[in-house]
Amino acid sequence: MNRRSILTLLACMLALVPAGVLADAKLSGQPTSAEKPFISEITTDLNARFGSPDAAIKAGYMRYTNEDDTGAISYANRRWTSADAEHPSQLWYDVKGNLLGADYSVPYDAAHRPTKFNLDPSRWEKFGLHDHYGLVGSNGTTTYGATSPKKLTAIGADPDNPTPADLVKLGIAKSPSDVRFVWVFPAIWDVSIWVDGNPSGPFAEKNPNVKPVNPPKGDDSM
Protein backbone atom coordinates (compact mmCIF):
# COMPACT_ATOMS: atom_id res chain seq x y z
CA MET A 1 0.00 0.00 0.00
CA ASN A 2 1.89 0.22 -0.14
CA ARG A 3 0.71 3.73 -0.35
CA ARG A 4 1.81 3.63 -3.99
CA SER A 5 -1.00 1.24 -4.87
CA ILE A 6 -3.49 3.12 -2.77
CA LEU A 7 -2.42 6.45 -4.21
CA THR A 8 -2.96 5.08 -7.70
CA LEU A 9 -6.42 3.86 -6.78
CA LEU A 10 -7.42 6.89 -4.77
CA ALA A 11 -6.30 9.27 -7.47
CA CYS A 12 -9.50 8.19 -9.17
CA MET A 13 -11.48 8.77 -6.00
CA LEU A 14 -10.44 12.21 -4.78
CA ALA A 15 -13.77 13.70 -5.74
CA LEU A 16 -15.55 10.89 -3.89
CA VAL A 17 -13.42 10.70 -0.75
CA PRO A 18 -12.91 14.24 0.55
CA ALA A 19 -10.11 13.09 2.81
CA GLY A 20 -8.03 12.19 -0.22
CA VAL A 21 -4.40 11.40 0.29
CA LEU A 22 -2.88 14.66 1.36
CA ALA A 23 0.58 14.67 2.93
CA ASP A 24 2.50 17.54 4.44
CA ALA A 25 5.40 18.36 2.14
CA LYS A 26 7.80 19.91 4.63
CA LEU A 27 10.11 16.89 4.86
CA SER A 28 12.22 15.18 2.20
CA GLY A 29 12.31 11.48 1.40
CA GLN A 30 15.39 11.08 3.58
CA PRO A 31 14.93 10.31 7.30
CA THR A 32 15.75 12.78 10.02
CA SER A 33 18.31 11.81 12.65
CA ALA A 34 15.47 10.89 15.02
CA GLU A 35 13.87 8.65 12.40
CA LYS A 36 17.00 6.76 11.36
CA PRO A 37 17.00 4.15 14.17
CA PHE A 38 13.46 3.05 13.30
CA ILE A 39 14.26 2.89 9.59
CA SER A 40 17.38 0.84 10.28
CA GLU A 41 15.47 -1.52 12.58
CA ILE A 42 12.63 -2.30 10.18
CA THR A 43 14.90 -2.53 7.14
CA THR A 44 16.86 -5.33 8.79
CA ASP A 45 13.91 -7.05 10.45
CA LEU A 46 11.36 -6.98 7.63
CA ASN A 47 13.84 -8.15 5.03
CA ALA A 48 14.76 -11.05 7.30
CA ARG A 49 11.18 -12.10 8.06
CA PHE A 50 9.32 -11.14 4.88
CA GLY A 51 11.81 -11.69 2.10
CA SER A 52 9.17 -13.14 -0.22
CA PRO A 53 5.40 -12.93 -0.80
CA ASP A 54 5.08 -16.51 0.49
CA ALA A 55 6.51 -15.39 3.83
CA ALA A 56 3.98 -12.57 3.96
CA ILE A 57 1.10 -14.90 3.15
CA LYS A 58 2.16 -17.36 5.86
CA ALA A 59 2.11 -14.44 8.32
CA GLY A 60 -1.48 -13.55 7.41
CA TYR A 61 -1.02 -10.98 4.66
CA MET A 62 -3.02 -11.20 1.45
CA ARG A 63 -2.41 -9.67 -1.95
CA TYR A 64 -5.04 -7.11 -2.92
CA THR A 65 -3.62 -5.02 -5.78
CA ASN A 66 -2.09 -5.22 -9.20
CA GLU A 67 1.37 -3.78 -9.76
CA ASP A 68 1.16 0.00 -9.40
CA ASP A 69 3.00 2.78 -11.19
CA THR A 70 5.99 2.48 -8.85
CA GLY A 71 6.38 -1.24 -9.49
CA ALA A 72 4.84 -2.35 -6.19
CA ILE A 73 2.27 -5.07 -5.46
CA SER A 74 0.59 -4.73 -2.06
CA TYR A 75 -0.31 -7.24 0.62
CA ALA A 76 -2.34 -6.34 3.73
CA ASN A 77 -3.00 -8.10 7.03
CA ARG A 78 -6.27 -6.13 7.40
CA ARG A 79 -5.54 -5.27 11.02
CA TRP A 80 -4.81 -1.60 10.26
CA THR A 81 -3.28 -0.94 13.67
CA SER A 82 0.50 -1.29 13.82
CA ALA A 83 1.20 -1.87 17.49
CA ASP A 84 4.96 -2.06 17.02
CA ALA A 85 7.74 -2.10 14.44
CA GLU A 86 7.30 -5.83 13.82
CA HIS A 87 3.71 -5.46 12.63
CA PRO A 88 3.30 -3.30 9.52
CA SER A 89 -0.23 -3.30 8.19
CA GLN A 90 0.99 -3.76 4.63
CA LEU A 91 3.98 -5.13 2.74
CA TRP A 92 4.81 -4.53 -0.91
CA TYR A 93 6.84 -6.48 -3.44
CA ASP A 94 7.97 -6.12 -7.03
CA VAL A 95 6.86 -8.54 -9.75
CA LYS A 96 9.88 -10.76 -9.02
CA GLY A 97 8.88 -11.11 -5.37
CA ASN A 98 11.49 -8.81 -3.89
CA LEU A 99 10.41 -6.92 -0.78
CA LEU A 100 10.21 -3.20 -1.47
CA GLY A 101 8.61 -1.65 1.58
CA ALA A 102 5.91 -1.54 4.21
CA ASP A 103 3.08 0.59 5.54
CA TYR A 104 2.36 1.27 9.19
CA SER A 105 -1.09 2.49 10.11
CA VAL A 106 -3.53 3.38 12.88
CA PRO A 107 -7.26 4.12 12.70
CA TYR A 108 -7.96 7.66 11.60
CA ASP A 109 -8.61 10.26 14.27
CA ALA A 110 -8.92 13.75 12.83
CA ALA A 111 -7.94 15.34 16.12
CA HIS A 112 -4.71 13.43 16.56
CA ARG A 113 -2.02 12.86 13.96
CA PRO A 114 0.09 9.87 15.10
CA THR A 115 3.29 10.31 17.08
CA LYS A 116 4.64 6.76 16.77
CA PHE A 117 8.02 5.21 16.11
CA ASN A 118 9.80 8.58 16.45
CA LEU A 119 8.51 9.50 13.00
CA ASP A 120 7.75 13.12 12.30
CA PRO A 121 3.94 13.49 12.55
CA SER A 122 3.84 15.05 9.10
CA ARG A 123 4.92 11.69 7.63
CA TRP A 124 1.47 10.26 8.36
CA GLU A 125 -1.15 10.57 5.61
CA LYS A 126 -4.87 10.04 5.72
CA PHE A 127 -6.46 7.42 3.50
CA GLY A 128 -10.23 7.61 3.23
CA LEU A 129 -12.45 4.57 3.51
CA HIS A 130 -12.90 2.56 0.30
CA ASP A 131 -13.47 -1.05 -0.69
CA HIS A 132 -11.22 -3.60 -2.39
CA TYR A 133 -12.12 -6.75 -4.28
CA GLY A 134 -10.62 -9.60 -6.22
CA LEU A 135 -12.41 -11.34 -9.07
CA VAL A 136 -11.81 -14.71 -10.69
CA GLY A 137 -9.59 -14.10 -13.71
CA SER A 138 -8.42 -16.30 -16.54
CA ASN A 139 -6.23 -19.35 -15.95
CA GLY A 140 -6.59 -19.16 -12.18
CA THR A 141 -5.53 -15.53 -11.89
CA THR A 142 -7.19 -12.81 -9.84
CA THR A 143 -8.35 -9.44 -11.16
CA TYR A 144 -7.92 -6.76 -8.49
CA GLY A 145 -9.87 -3.54 -8.13
CA ALA A 146 -11.53 -1.08 -5.77
CA THR A 147 -14.75 0.88 -5.55
CA SER A 148 -15.99 3.87 -3.63
CA PRO A 149 -18.33 4.19 -0.63
CA LYS A 150 -20.49 6.52 -2.72
CA LYS A 151 -21.19 3.85 -5.32
CA LEU A 152 -22.01 1.24 -2.70
CA THR A 153 -24.27 3.60 -0.80
CA ALA A 154 -26.10 4.45 -4.02
CA ILE A 155 -27.26 0.84 -4.39
CA GLY A 156 -28.25 0.55 -0.73
CA ALA A 157 -25.13 -1.37 0.29
CA ASP A 158 -23.03 -0.83 3.40
CA PRO A 159 -19.47 0.30 2.52
CA ASP A 160 -18.29 -1.02 5.89
CA ASN A 161 -19.56 -4.50 5.03
CA PRO A 162 -19.44 -5.01 1.26
CA THR A 163 -20.62 -8.34 -0.17
CA PRO A 164 -20.15 -10.23 -3.44
CA ALA A 165 -23.80 -9.54 -4.21
CA ASP A 166 -23.07 -5.81 -3.99
CA LEU A 167 -20.43 -6.14 -6.70
CA VAL A 168 -22.97 -7.87 -8.90
CA LYS A 169 -25.41 -5.01 -8.39
CA LEU A 170 -22.68 -2.56 -9.36
CA GLY A 171 -21.97 -4.51 -12.53
CA ILE A 172 -18.43 -5.27 -11.41
CA ALA A 173 -19.02 -9.03 -11.18
CA LYS A 174 -21.42 -11.23 -13.14
CA SER A 175 -22.04 -13.60 -10.24
CA PRO A 176 -21.19 -13.75 -6.53
CA SER A 177 -19.16 -16.85 -7.33
CA ASP A 178 -16.86 -14.69 -9.44
CA VAL A 179 -15.78 -12.75 -6.34
CA ARG A 180 -12.74 -14.14 -4.56
CA PHE A 181 -12.83 -11.45 -1.87
CA VAL A 182 -14.33 -8.07 -1.07
CA TRP A 183 -13.54 -6.04 2.03
CA VAL A 184 -13.43 -2.56 3.43
CA PHE A 185 -10.24 -0.53 3.70
CA PRO A 186 -11.12 1.75 6.63
CA ALA A 187 -10.06 5.34 7.12
CA ILE A 188 -6.54 5.32 8.54
CA TRP A 189 -3.44 7.33 9.24
CA ASP A 190 -0.69 5.67 7.25
CA VAL A 191 3.04 6.00 6.61
CA SER A 192 4.83 4.18 3.78
CA ILE A 193 8.51 3.26 3.97
CA TRP A 194 10.84 1.74 1.40
CA VAL A 195 13.11 -0.91 2.94
CA ASP A 196 15.05 -1.82 -0.21
CA GLY A 197 17.71 0.89 -0.08
CA ASN A 198 15.85 3.46 -2.16
CA PRO A 199 18.51 6.07 -3.07
CA SER A 200 15.82 8.76 -2.96
CA GLY A 201 15.14 7.91 0.68
CA PRO A 202 12.77 5.58 2.53
CA PHE A 203 9.98 8.15 2.47
CA ALA A 204 10.30 9.04 -1.22
CA GLU A 205 7.32 8.67 -3.51
CA LYS A 206 9.18 6.49 -6.01
CA ASN A 207 12.36 4.46 -6.29
CA PRO A 208 14.46 5.14 -9.41
CA ASN A 209 15.77 1.57 -9.25
CA VAL A 210 12.31 -0.01 -9.45
CA LYS A 211 10.76 -0.01 -12.91
CA PRO A 212 7.12 -1.10 -13.34
CA VAL A 213 6.66 -4.03 -15.69
CA ASN A 214 2.92 -3.54 -16.24
CA PRO A 215 2.06 -0.03 -15.06
CA PRO A 216 -1.64 0.65 -14.44
CA LYS A 217 -3.88 2.27 -17.01
CA GLY A 218 -6.44 3.48 -14.51
CA ASP A 219 -9.33 1.84 -12.67
CA ASP A 220 -12.76 2.36 -14.21
CA SER A 221 -14.46 0.83 -11.20
CA MET A 222 -13.98 4.06 -9.28
C-alpha to C-alpha distance for 119 and 111, rounded to whole angstroms: 18
Max CA distance (Å), the chain: 53
- pLDDT at position 18, please? 38
pLDDT tens string, the chain, 222 residues long: the values are 544 444 444 444 433 333 334 444 468 999 999 999 999 999 999 999 999 999 999 999 999 999 999 999 999 999 999 999 999 999 999 999 999 999 999 999 999 999 999 999 999 999 999 999 999 999 889 999 999 999 999 999 999 999 999 999 999 999 999 999 999 999 999 999 999 999 999 999 999 999 999 877 754 445
Domain ranges of the chain: 1-129+189-202, 131-185
- pLDDT at position 65, please? 96
Q: Which residues of 176-190 are buried (b: 16+ CB within 10 A; e: fewer)?
A: eebbbebbbbbbbbb
Q: What φ, ψ does residue 28 adopt, rounded to 5°? A: -85, 180
- pLDDT at position 218, please? 58
